[in-house]
Every structure is written in structure tokens, then in C-alpha cells.
Amino acid sequence: MTLHLKVVGINHRTAPLEFREKLAVSGPKLGPALTSLGSFTAQGIILSTCNRTEVYTTHRGSLDEAQAGLHFLCARLGKTAGELAAYCYVLEDRDAVEHLFRVASGLESMVVGESEILGQVGQALEAAEKAGMVSLPLQRVFLQAVGTGRKVREETGIGKNAVSISSIALDKAANILGDFKSCKVLVLGAGEAGQLVAKVARDRGARQILIASRTIERSQALAEAMGGTPIDLSSLAEVLCECSVVVTCAVAPHWILETNQVETAMRHRTAPLVLIDIAVPRNVNPAVGQLPNVFLYNIDDMVSASQANRKQREGWIEQAVEVVTSEACRTMSWWQTLATRPVVRALMSQAEEIRAQQVAKTLPKLPSLSAEERASLEAMTKAIVSRILRKPIRCLEGSDGVEYGEAVRGLFNLDTEGTG
């Protein structure tokens, strides 16, 4: 039976932040989420970033297998498929492959051309492999997605001088505060996102960069690399009184900054405080934005700047789409052979069995043949079989292979069980 690839997901275009953050399963949440997905399907990969949560699965037509990704998302949200339908997209086969390649190429990102997504696709594959949930076809498609993402960046200018969510966030802060070089910046989170924010802050010449994380070792390592200062979360209240900009990007199951913490800090300062929460799920209680002199932004507030970035890259986007389309076509040509591979193997096996039987019957009638002549007879009969099967096999591996496969299976009464 034909193997299908399916993706079910939500992203920044289809669902609001408050919806996306409920499905976010990055970091330490990913392992348990894959375990949960395993109760719906044996093969699947979860790609979860600040922009999206997508579930990639394979199936052979079984309704339960085909709906595995959707049922998994519904179970996590506690919603029905009908309730989820307004926010999600479902793509299959060629559309699913092309979508994944677009994602890896940065074409589906809020900030077009951003490079972080390429690593995130690879990490999603690695996590699923560790969970034992990746078949060879699924693995190959994800590896080809990473390869396509690299090719897009090598052959087009889409990744050159690309902005990022981090740079957009700090630009927004600079627009409010004016002189960014006089700012003290606090980065809450020392993971990949925190590293990017700290680097941009350093490159923009921030007066001081403070790094806070749940693990002081990570804070110290990042602070040392960026010429900043590590702080302990226990001193957060004091630091909030001094900082001009706070960027939060930590993986946490709850608010890191509550209204009362920020309200207390604002009593001890007169200058405005810019809070930019680019974490998904969010790190800052949205109610904080109601406080006087506090400017709170989340990741969806970066959209206007990201749209301007997209407009600047329109020419490169067209080139990138051409690369994605070409690579998706190549991948689908390979994928289609998966359906007929058992038929090809069974046909070759049957032909070889018949050839070997006929040679075995013939050899006793030719007792004068030398060992070399016997070997030549073996080689000749194998070559005949190979030449006879060459064109049928090419047809089976072509675009109409599935239809040919069913016909060949019936004509030759092939047993394809256990040959896939």
C-alpha cells in the first residue's frame, strides 16, 4: 500500500499567540510530547518553534494513522477536531514535503530568511530519532529538508544580512528609548534565543548586558562570551529597578515576571521600562503591559517590522521558491518509488528463482561444461533476466508506478508481504 506523508500544524499566520503557546513543546517538553504522540502513531516528528507547532507523520491509508497528528494536537489542547480546524492546516504528500522545505528555507518564518529554523528542523529530527519514532522515509525527507534549506541560503541572497526576531526586538526598544548605547539590557534566558539577543545587544553597543537563567552556570558562560554580567534570578527585583530593556526568551512553564514584581520595580524608578517577551509560551504576564510607563511587547508585535523585511527580500524569495519546488519534485520522485519497491523486489525475486531453477535443470544435461563455462552460463542467464526486467522496473519506479504496480502484482501473482 502507498506510504503517505502528512503534516498537521498551526503557525503565526493561522493562530494567535495565546493559542500557539498552549501547543509549544520545545526544550524539555519535547521528549514527553513525543512519548504522548507515540500513543497515536509509531512514526512521527514534532517541529515546535516560536512561530509554529507541526506534527509530521506517515501512514498507509488507515484512518487512525492518517488522523494521528490531529488527534495528538486535540488531546494536548483539550479541544475537538472541529474546534481546532479554524486554526490549523493539514497537508499531505507533495504539499507536505514542499511545506517542510519552505519551513527549513526560512520562507515560512515570521522573519523571512532567518537561520535559526534550519537548526530547529535538525533538532526535531534528532529528538524523534532518540524517541525511536523515525522511519527511514521520514528521516530522509527531513534530512533533505535541511539540505534544501542550506542550498537556498547558498544559491540565493535570502539569508544575507538577514534580520532576526532579536534584532527587531532591540530596534523596537531603541525606537522608544532613543540612545540604545546608554541602555542597560537584561536578557532572561541563556539558551539559543538568549545567545542571539545578547549578541545583538553587544553588537548594538548596549552600555551593559545582564544575563539571568535558572542555571547560573549557563548565565556565567553566556555573560563571559558576550562581555556581560551574570545575575541570579533571586536578585531580579533589584535588577528591574536599574534596567532600561528586558528581553525574555526562557523556556518556562509559568510567568517569570508577574505584575506585582514589575509594579514594585516601577515605584523605584522614573524612566520607562521596555519589556520584550519573545518566548513561546510567554514569560511575562500580559497584565504587566497595563502598568504606567511600562512598554510590553510579545513576539507577534514584531510582525510589522518582519513584513518590511519580507518586502526587501521579494526577489530572493522567488529564487528560493524555485529551489524548493525543484528539490520537492526530486524528493517526491523518490518517495513514489516506496510504494512500488515491494513489487520490484518481489518481481526480481520471482524471476531469479525461475532462472536458478531452469539453470539447475539444464546443467545435468550438459556434463561436459567446464567450471568456467558453467559460470558463463550463470552470468548469461542473469543478464537476460536483467535486460527483460529493466524497462518494467523503470516503469514501476516512474510517475505511474503505483498503477503499474497493482497490475504487475496481479499478473505475476506476486507475494509482496515482507519485501518492503
Residue 334 lies in a domain: no
Report whether 103 contacts 47 (CB < 8 A): yes
Q: Which of 155, 188, 210 is the last residue of a domain?
A: 155
**Is residue 51 one of the residues assigned to a domain?**
yes
Distance CA 267, CA 247 (A): 20
Q: In what order do the strands lie in the sheet with 245-248?
A: 229-231, 208-212, 184-188, 245-248, 273-277, 294-298
One domain for residues 191 and 142: no
CB 272 within 8 Å of CB 240: no
Model confidence at 305, pLDDT cuts 50, 70, 90, reads: low
Measured CA to CA, the distance from residue 71 to residue 8 in angstroms comes to 10
pLDDT at 401: 66
329 is catalytic: no
Query: 84 is in which domain, residue-wise?
Result: 4-155
**207 CB contacts (<8 Å, ≥6 apart)?**
181, 182, 183, 184
In a domain, 417, yes or no: no
The pLDDT value given to residue 125: 97
138 and 9 together in one domain:
yes
pLDDT value at 98 more than 70:
yes
Q: Per residue in 209-249, pLDDT tens?
A: 999 998 889 999 999 999 999 999 888 989 999 999 999 99
What is the three-class DSSP state of 55? Answer: strand
**How would residue 134 be classed by pLDDT, with cut points 50, 70 and 90?**
very high
User: The domain that contains 98 carries what CATH number?
Assistant: 3.30.460.30
Number of domains in the chain: 3
